[in-house]
Structure 1
Amino acid sequence: MYEKKALVQKSAAEVLLGLVSIKEDENVLDLGCGSGRTTREIARCTKGIVVGTDISGSMIKEAISKDDGKPNISFLVKDAECLGFRDSFDVVFCNSAFQWFSRPKKVLKQCFTALKTGGRIGIQAPATAMYCPNFVTAVEKVRNNPATKNIFGFFKNPWMFLESEGEYRSLFEKSGFEVVTCKIVKESARFAADQVYGIYQSGAENGYLNQAFYTVPLTDAYIGTFCDLVKKAFKEQADESGMVNLTFNRIYLVAKKP
């Protein structure tokens, strides 16, 4: 499902690939590679070693199953806080994953160590508390609905969103990097309401309906009602033609290891 519905992650990855500008002989770490779609694209850009890592064993299994025979690519299950690489990569590429790192300083320390001197890291991630106004508005219906508000009150936000370019820049500089590019961009595209729900399922739903982020048990009734409310909200956001103007605030950052 992620492979089919992660449309906005794919388009953002293409922008990030342009920013990091991978050379034909560079070794690349794709951090939080998911099902490996972008990792395989990276492997077509370079003859160097390409390693995709993700904390999800299921995602890595999916990535390996789609192996297209490129000899320079491999996939590993790894926690971003415990990568264990040293002076191994010219580029660390991290698309639509940085927001999941609750302890980003630990992750950046691992990335700094994994990079060769002069290497660079490029990240793209949703940014600010209003990372996606469409999603935030939809979830407010869950927060306020009598059937869901009690359980939702025990939801603990799993994401790490900073509010300004300066905060992202400071985070990387304090980790030893020299920031080359740092910009929060508002991006919008039009999708049918059902497509918007699929895009929401490819990312945000993995937080909002994950038992790990609640301190009370989730019930089938809660999950079902949550999904119905979000679907209804996206339909309400559609214009007369049935299209929703889906908007994301995204951080694009490239930094160098001196």
Structure 2
Amino acid sequence: MTYKPPRRIDLREIQKEIPAYQPRKLMQLDKRKLGVKMMEELHQENRLQLTDENENIIHLLLAYFSRDHNFPSMTLPDSPTSFSLYKGIYLYGNPGSGKTHLMEAFMKTFRKLGSCDSVAEDLRFMKYQWDDVSFQIKEKGSTIINTYGKSIANGTDKDRPRNYWFDEYSVKKGIKDFGTPVDMNDIFKLRYELFKDHRVMTHITSNLNPSQLIAEGLPQKMFSRFMEMFNFIPLGAKDDYTDFRVL
């Protein structure tokens, strides 16, 4: 009996017939209103000196958080990926560059605006100190991974933002749960699933730039997911260790 190969279908023709994916268009916030509220928070405790460079980054963050549709077309020379309103923020720079102060100002702004603006409510995020997460894993074990790796994706808990911000991120090594090594980056495996399935955002502030993440031991597969999940934004020049915090 002569073998007859299965009939081939033209996959390329089928592909042409499938409509191109169109992501949900995001509602915008009033950028000026957001800027005023954010600057009020930033200056309330007078904790950051404004410079030409960090002012440019503030404008970029305002474009992102106000859902400015021009944000994806904006560029930075040191960013390894294109910008997207659907990704979170990875804000990196040397100690004293003001990363935490800027993100705290936006966090507090959305906390106040969220009660009267549905767009701001969707952008609210909660801060977690990365060292505190590490300490909790040492104290309570690897079950803590699920606590921070998961989120309220369906939005039923209005008091707990579904978007998380991890401050002072570093590539942790040597964390153990009763002698068993624990990879803290498993948190981001779960956050990645939330990002892909529910557009839940994760934000990070860190002293580590993208190339340092690999050098510090972040696995290549996780680094690839970081590229998908985050808009990488540098704050301050690479070799500038000026402290812009008002102490």
Greater strand percent: which structure? 1
Give 1 or 2 for the bigger CA radius of gyration: 2
Q: Which has the higher contact order (CA 8 A, sep 6+)?
A: 2
Q: With structure 1 as the length reference, what TM-score do the two structures score?
A: 0.32
Q: With structure 2 as the length reference, what TM-score do the two structures score?
A: 0.33
